[in-house]
DNA sequence: TGAATAGTGTCTGTGAGACAATATTAT
DNA sequence: ATAATATTGTCTCACAGACACTATTCA
């Protein structure tokens, strides 16, 4: 005979009364793209982009959505992320981190689905995205996306905005070589505000190293090219 | 006839090939307890505590574990957290936030379980924890806990350590009235390092307000009692 | 040469670290 | 009076904001 206390515990842990859920991972893949400047004198314009796929099926058929998919029966969440990233970008070794888990009962009309959302940062130039398309982040946020993917993207940006101040994850989105101005512009795109060049240089000076190379044919003074210094601060 | 591209998409989204998962929430409930100082002259000792339950069943029967339970079929993750917190602490309106989702395939020997972990901060004095027990955080970390709950607790502490610097969530763990020294000691318990009283006072001065009351019978100079000022910075 | 960008120098204010000094109570 | 804590004062240093200034290239 069970005492009252033990009964109470059993309520929580009885394996027979758990409901079956589907679990997916959805990934906010972010990258920086460049478009030609307005004249030979002007720098290229950078923009923050997010990778989206088009849903072929109901629900939200034809609607854009984050790349994602169901987690396999004996597959870890991280493994599912790696598998999907490989398929959508052609890359291994992409930096990613867990963002948040979305579990509102009605978020998928078909069934109960828990979505574990991730952020991934890629060097966009290296990606081969045959089954997906890059969208400017502003455009993407204005679009009608499938499920709650619009919320997920804006949560991802909030997270990123917070983290680039006290970690070095920004470098995962940069190409191997970059100028300080480019790096500053990426910060500005994410933080949505202008920074002072002098102050910016000072603060990141110890995180980067000169490569010895310079930009060419810029129509004005060339810029030193830098790379990340080893041993950055990734934090939690 | 489907073109190759569409087939590829269908692979990811075919609703019939999803695996059934159980989803639980597990909560790291943290609170500050006081034990009497060594003499009438000395202040009470505060310690950071975590709420644990004892598992009555396999697996890990008899082992201590985080309070948690299966998420109901049409219950939101947050609703599950509120339900469990109410049962284990007797309190509504507890501050909590999502920590991380743990989904290793072998983390529960019975079946595939995804655990969505949360942090909750409570005023320990107000809790009625008939079905759980408070443990000093150091003790808890040294114990052999069920599942991966040891990892979850240490992740929770890392998160808290990061967040108390740039948010005001700390106040959710404080009683209505507190002295600056007490508040400082809580910071020190979480950050695991000593702070300078003068600097500490300066930095938190604008977040708290005097109540007009003082500590009594302290065996030495009494301290002003403060409360939180409205409109704190909770951030993401 | 000049437009456009790269990069430096420096003043100033804010805020943290360090630590000394003063204040107040119960016994 | 004294132990123990509370609270304030102040010097210094690091660093970010602001902004002026110099440097360099290509068409």
Q: Output the CA–CA distances (angstroms, integers) from residue A160 to A7, A51, B117, B161, in the order listed.
A: 45, 16, 21, 19
Query: A70 and B22 in contact by Cβ < 8 A?
Result: no
pTM of this structure? 0.92
The tens digit of pLDDT for each residue in A56-74 reads: 988 999 999 999 999 999 9
* Closest nucleotide to the alpha carbon of A199, via C1': D16
A43 beta carbon to strand C: under 7 Å:
yes
For residue A236, is pLDDT > 80?
A: no
Query: B236 and A158 in contact by Cβ < 8 A?
Result: yes
Q: Which residue has the higher pLDDT, A20 or A116?
A: A116
Q: Which residues contact B86 (CB under 8 A, 6 or more apart)?
A: B92
B196 beta carbon to strand C: under 7 Å:
yes
Q: Determine the pLDDT at residue B191.
A: 97
For residue A231, is pLDDT > 90?
A: no
Q: Tell me the backbone φ, ψ of residue A28, rounded to 5 degrees.
A: -90, 95
What is the rounded distance in angstroms from the CA atom of residue A226 to the CA atom of residue A210? Answer: 4
**% of chain A beyond a pLDDT of 70:** 92
For residue A160, is pLDDT > 70?
A: yes
Instruction: Tell me if B115 sits within 8 A of B147, measured CB to CB.
Output: yes
Rounded distance in angstroms from the CA atom of residue B218 to the C1' atom of nucleotide D1: 18
Rounded distance in angstroms from the CA atom of residue A35 to the C1' atom of nucleotide C14: 40
The tens digit of pLDDT for each residue in B129-140 reads: 988 999 999 999
The tens digit of pLDDT for each residue in A108-119 reads: 988 999 999 999
Q: Determine the pLDDT at residue A20.
A: 87
Longest dimension (CA), chain A: 86
Query: A8 and B111 in contact by Cβ < 8 A?
Result: no
Pick from A177, A195, A176: which is nearest to A187 by CA?
A: A195
Determine how many CB atoms are found less than 10 A away from the CB of residue A180: 17
What nucleotides of chain C have any atom within 7 angstroms of a protein Cβ? 3-10, 15-20, 23-27
Residues A131, A134, A140, A143: what is their CA dihedral angle, to the nearest 10 degrees? Answer: -40
Residues of A in contact with B76 (CB under 8 A): 103-105
Q: Looking at chain B, which residue has its C-alpha nearest residue A6?
A: B56
Q: Determine the pLDDT at residue A17.
A: 60
Mean pLDDT of chain A: 91
Helix ranges restricted to H, chain B: 4-13, 77-89, 137-142, 149-166, 180-191, 197-204
Report the pLDDT averaged over residues A30-49. Answer: 94
For residue A7, is pLDDT > 80?
A: no
pLDDT grade for A15, boundaries at 50, 70 and 90: very low
What is the rounded distance in angstroms from the CA atom of residue B229 to the CA atom of residue B224? Answer: 15
The full length of chain B comes to 236
How far does B19 lie from chain A, in Å, by closest CA? 5
Rounded distance in angstroms from the CA atom of residue A34 to the C1' atom of nucleotide D23: 27
Residues of chain B with pLDDT under 50: 1-3, 5-15
């Amino acid at each position: 005979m069970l005492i009252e206390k033990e009964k109470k515990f059993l309520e929580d842990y009885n394996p027979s009364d758990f409901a079956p859920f589907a679990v997916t991972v959805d990934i906010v893949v972010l990258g920086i793209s460049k478009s030609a400047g307005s004249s030979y004198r002007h720098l290229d314009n950078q923009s923050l982009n997010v990778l989206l796929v088009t849903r072929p099926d109901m629900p939200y058929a034809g609607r854009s959505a984050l790349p994602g998919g169901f987690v396999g029966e004996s597959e870890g969440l991280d493994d599912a992320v790696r598998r999907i990233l490989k398929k959508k970008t052609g890359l291994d070794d992409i930096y990613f981190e867990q963002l948040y888990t979305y579990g509102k009962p009605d978020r998928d009309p078909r069934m109960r689905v828990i979505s574990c959302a991730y952020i991934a940062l890629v060097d966009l130039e290296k990606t081969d995205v045959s089954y997906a398309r890059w969208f400017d982040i502003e455009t993407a946020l204005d679009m009608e996306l499938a499920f709650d993917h619009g919320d997920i993207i804006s949560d991802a940006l909030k997270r990123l905005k917070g983290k680039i101040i006290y970690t070095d994850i920004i470098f995962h989105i940069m190409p191997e070589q970059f100028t300080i101005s480019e790096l500053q512009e990426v910060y500005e795109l994410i933080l949505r505000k202008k920074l002072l060049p002098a102050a910016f240089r000072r603060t990141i000076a110890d995180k980067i190293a000169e490569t010895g190379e310079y930009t060419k044919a810029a129509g004005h003074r060339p810029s030193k090219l830098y790379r990340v210094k080893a041993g950055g601060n990734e934090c939690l």
